[in-house]
Amino acid sequence: MSGLFYCPSVASATTPTDEEKDEALSSYNIALIGGDGIGPEVVAEAMKVVAATGVEVDTTSYDLGASRYVRTGEVLSDAVLEELRGFDAILLGAVGPAIGSKEVPPGTLERGLLLKLRFELDLYVNMRPFATPPQSADSSVAKVDFVVIRENTEGTYAGEGGFLRKGTLAEVATQGSVNTRFGVERAIRFAFELAQSRAAKHLTLVHKTNVLTFSGDLWQRTFDLVSVEFPEVGVAYNHVDAACIYMVESPQRYDVIVTDNLFGDILTDLAGAISGGIGYAASANLNPARTGPSLFEPVHGAAHDIVGTGLANPTAAIRSAALMLEFLGETAAANAIFSVLDSFSPDAGSTTSQIGNAIAERVSNASN
Ligand code: IPM
Ligand code: MN
């Protein structure tokens, strides 16, 4: 069966080798991209918590994002991209102009910075875990614990398409969806391996195979073929529109979800909303083949309206930093942060840095 596949297993790549574990003893080179709005605030709290684990990191800050673009006209130069390739990991806060700002045309930062990093660094898995935060335990909020694996380099995000007769009444605009067997398979394979490692061992493919009969067919066939290699993993299929209903009405059904780039973008905002709010949603843009650094960022945006107020919730950035430590092989440090986050609920009215300090203190106590 495996002869059918182009992708080698990523199992060995997702678990650091002994050599990589030896490296874990020295310090890691981390690029920090605070970005815009509340980005720098939440990254600062995340790095406090990383420091509290005792894992040694050398950080280099990069000034990238909307304000940098407005000041200099530069989004991401080739030289900076090349520098970033040399780091062990990248932690990003948020980038984007204030809503209504006309200084940054739509797509400038999305395509020029975030997607450029995802594509150039081949961050082909966007892993987004969702778990109900502790303060919701007694409320009517459903207890959920699932992970969305979003294919991160293809689909409608690939940028295929263009204009014909632009600006005329006869204008044509196309925006294609690029789905390669290679790209689809590596995302699906990662999702199966993740599902296999979890207690529930369940994987749901989300797509729209009833309408997207070309790309959906490729996704379904590839899913079915890979599933043969994971007999212990139970599988399901949901159309994306139905998945939106299920996610609101009975999200406990989900363990791991795998889906394409655009469906994954939309579904993970919904998942954030039903699992405590987007202030808790972390993400890991992974290059599981480890041909370069992976990038970790909260799902939320720059939230310019609350800059400097102390209202920004640093939890998503802190969890993203824990995902970074986990991917670097610092399992104990990552687990120390995860277990604090699983039981920590901030006092009402706590500010961004009070939350960061409280989590850092608990992590430090657990790590010593
Ligand atoms: C996300 C964001 C990005 C995306 C944008 C900012 C390019 O919404 O990370 O979910 O669409 O992937
Ligand atoms: Mn999004």
| pLDDT score for 137 | 54
Q: Which of 73, 45, 66, 108 is nearest to 321 (CA)?
A: 45
Q: In this structure, how many other beta carbons lie within 10 angstroms of the beta carbon of residue 196?
A: 16
Q: HSE of 24 in the Cβ direction (CA atoms, 13 Å)?
A: 20
- Which residue in 109, 26, 28 sits closest to 67, CA to CA? 109
What average pLDDT score do residues 121-149 get?
Answer: 85
Closest ligand relative to 284 C-alpha: 1
Closest to 44 in 3D by CA, of 285, 350, 294, 310: 310
For ligand 1, say whether the CB of 66 is within 6 Å of any of its atoms: no
Look at 128 and 133; give whichever has higher pLDDT.
128
CB 265 less than 6 A from any atom of ligand 1: yes
Ligand closest in space to the Cα of 97? 1
The residue whose CB lies within 8 Å of the most ligand 1 atoms, and thus the one to mutate among 76, 90, 99, 110, is 110
The total of other beta-carbon atoms located within 10 Å of residue 8's CB is 12
Query: Which pLDDT score, from 0 to 100, does residue 202 have?
Result: 98
Q: Catalogue the active-site residues.
A: 157, 208, 241, 265, 269
For ligand 1, whether the C-beta of 184 sits within 6 Å is no
For 74, phi then psi, to 5°, come to: -105, 135
pLDDT for the residue 136: 62
Q: What pLDDT score does 13 carry?
A: 46
pTM attached to this predicted model: 0.92
Which tens digit of pLDDT belongs to each residue from 194-226? 999 999 999 999 999 999 999 999 999 999 999
Mean pLDDT of the 264-278 span: 94
pLDDT surpasses 50 at 39? yes
Strand partners, 252: none
Query: Binning pLDDT at 50, 70 and 90, where does residue 19 land?
Result: low
297 lines ligand 1 (CB under 6 A): no
Closest ligand relative to 156 C-alpha: 1
The H or E element that residue 327 is part of is helix 315-327
Distance (angstroms) between ligand 1 centre and the Cα of 282 equals: 13
Tell me the per-residue pLDDT of 67-122, one tens digit each, with 9 for 90 and over.
999 999 999 999 999 999 999 999 999 999 998 889 999 999 999 999 999 999 99
- Which of the listed residues 33, 75, 99, 114 should we mutate to test ligand 1's pocket, taking the one with most ligand atoms within 8 A of CB? 114
Q: Using one digit for the tens of pLDDT, what is the confidence trace for 307-362?
A: 999 999 999 999 999 999 999 999 999 999 999 999 998 888 999 999 999 999 99
Q: What percent of the chain has pLDDT over 90?
A: 86
> What H or E segment, with its residue span, contains residue 334?
helix 331-343
- For residue 133, give both structure tokens: 């935060």
Q: Compute the average pLDDT of residues 248-265.
A: 98
Find, among 362, 350, 363, 284, the residue nearest to 313 by Cα.
350
Q: Which residues contact 65 (CB under 8 A, 6 or more apart)?
A: 33, 34, 35, 36, 39, 95, 96, 109, 113, 302
- Ligand 1 centroid to residue 157 C-alpha, Å: 10
**In 10 A of CB 87, how many CB atoms?**
21
162, amino acid identity: G
- Model confidence at 9, pLDDT cuts 50, 70, 90, reads very low
Share of the chain residues as helix, strand and coil, in percent rounded to the nearest 5 = 45, 20, 35
120 pocket-lining for ligand 1 (C-beta < 6 Å): no
| Distance separating the N- and C-terminal Cα atoms of the chain | 48
Q: Is the CB of 110 under 6 A from ligand 1?
A: yes
User: In the predicted model, what is the mean pLDDT of residues 252-272?
Assistant: 97
Helix (H) or strand (E) holding 130: strand 125-131
pLDDT confidence band for 186 (50 / 70 / 90): very high
| Amino acid 80: pLDDT | 98
Residue 28 has pLDDT above 70, yes or no: yes
- For residue 2, the model assigns a pLDDT of 38
